Amino acid sequence: MPKESQFRLTDADPNITEDSKFGTGWRDSWKYQCPSHMRVILRKGDRFSLHAEDSVDAEYAAPDALVNIEVRDPSEQKKINIYGPANYLSSKEFQDVKKMAKLRLDVEVNVKPRDFIVMRTNDDTGMDSASVANSYARLLTTKVVELEGGKL
C-alpha cells in the first residue's frame, strides 16, 4: 500500500545530477530523477528556495538572474513548467518558511517514477562546476512511496 509523506528534495539527494559544464543563459543546474518505487505530488503552495553562485563564486546579483522548475517525462520531450521563470531574488529565502517562494499551481502535478524535476538557472555571468557545487536548492513537497509489492 502506498504511503504519502512530506518530502524535502535538496541538491544533495543521491538521485540529483548537477550540471558540470560552464555556461551562460538557461541551464539545468540540478536534475532529479524520481526513483522507480516512488512518485512526487507537487501542490499549490509547496515551497522552494535556491542559493546560486556564478562563475566567480559570488551569489547571483544581476537583477535579471532567473530560476524556474520543470517536470519532464523520461524522454525529456514533454515539459511542464511548475515554477517561474522568476527573479532569483524571490527564490533565495531559506530560513523563514513563510518567506520561501511558493509553487503557484492550478492543479496538482504528479511526478511519476523515472520522470525528472529540473531546477534551472539563468545568469549572464554564467556557472561552472564549482559554482554549481557551491550553490544549493530545496523543494518542500510530498512523496508517495510504495511499500512491499504494491503499485503506485
Please state, rounded to an integer, the average pLDDT across all residues of the chain: 86
Q: Which CATH class is domain 3-145?
A: mainly beta
127 and 19 in contact (C-beta within 8 Å)? yes
Where do the domains of the chain lie? 3-145
- The better pLDDT of the pair 151, 72 is held by 72
Is the per-residue pLDDT at 150 higher than 70?
no
The pLDDT tens digits of the residues spanning 34-93 come to: 999 999 999 999 999 988 877 666 677 667 788 999 999 999 999 999 999 998 888 887
Most confident of 16-25, 37-46, 94-103: 37-46
Predicted local distance difference test score (pLDDT) of residue 151: 60
